Amino acid sequence: MHSVDYVTVDVFTEDRFAGNQLAVIPDARGLSDRQMQAIATEFGYSEVTFVLPPEDAANTARVRIFTPTMEIPFAGHPNVGTAFVLGRQSEIFGRAPGDHLRFEERAGLVDVALTRADGAVTGARIVVPRPLSIGPDIDVETIAACAMTPTEAIVTGNHKPVRVSVGLPFAVAELRDVAALSAARPNVTAFEAANQRYKPDEDSFSLFLYARSGKNPWRLRARMFAPLDNVIEDPATGSASGALGAYLVSLLPEDTVDVDLTIEQGVEMGRRSIIEVSVSKNSGAVARTSIAGTCVTAMKGSIEL
């Protein structure tokens, strides 16, 4: 019998046991696909990452991301948390980490800038690997059924419910206020019906709901439901936050603009998370989207195989 080491971190928070949990296998060499999926299922977190040597020596590592049910091409908090773990190591497959990392993933290359305080790595900012993809629209009745919320709570003045992606697809919809957002509950039967009608190619139907909070239009509260991935609710979803931020900026009338958004998530779960999103729009198109957050280490150990 042999074992592999793991580290768990809480992502998008400065407080241990808040934010979004992530398990990182810093050296996954020798693990089969079946073992990776079994480990991800055993942890039961929204994602687990498995770090392998890069296929191109110019990059830092190859990172594979598994939910409890499948491998996915990209996700936000797994990249931020994995960068945090690797950046605090003395070496990554024989090389010192430095301040900039590059991960090979199914969605493409993910560029990472580590953030530090007093010389110690505290988190990371990642650049999303794919341009903003928009569509199809999702009918209001489907959103209402999935979230068990009245149709009149869904706001369509700014945009209709729609699928957006910068590497992983989500249906996004705006609710009228934080109270309506907090009252939402996922209906698995409705998600199964939505998956039949709107299933994306690379994942099952997932729903990212948000509401404006206070007077600042760029400070949002959000919740994410993905029960078909065995993630009833996710306390922080960087990939969805990045996609939503990019989409909202794409709707602005300005041809060229830089916008910083703050998305608060996980409040209803008791795992408050803060996700920072920066979007640059040039000549009418979103040119760059990045996601940033802080992390804290929670646990370290080994898995017997």
What is the spatial distance between Cα 12 and Cα 302, in angstroms, rounded to a whole number?
24
Options 47, 174, 233, 276, the catalytic residue: 47
**Amino acid residing at 275:** I
Across 20-158, where does the E strand assignment appear? Answer: 20-25, 48-52, 61-66, 71-72, 100-105, 108-117, 120-127, 133-137, 154-155
Which sign, positive or negative, has the C-alpha torsion 227, 231, 236, 239?
negative
Report the C-alpha dihedral over residues 203, 245, 155, 218, rounded to 10 degrees.
150
What is the spatial distance between Cα 92 and Cα 97, in angstroms, rounded to a whole number?
6
| 272 HSE (CA, 13 A, CB side) | 7
DSSP string, 48-71: EEEEE--SSTTSSEEEEEE-SS-E
CA 107 from chain center: how many Å? Answer: 13
294 SS3 class: strand
- 55 is a catalytic site residue: no
Contact by Cβ (8 Å): 145, 153: no
Catalytic residues: 47
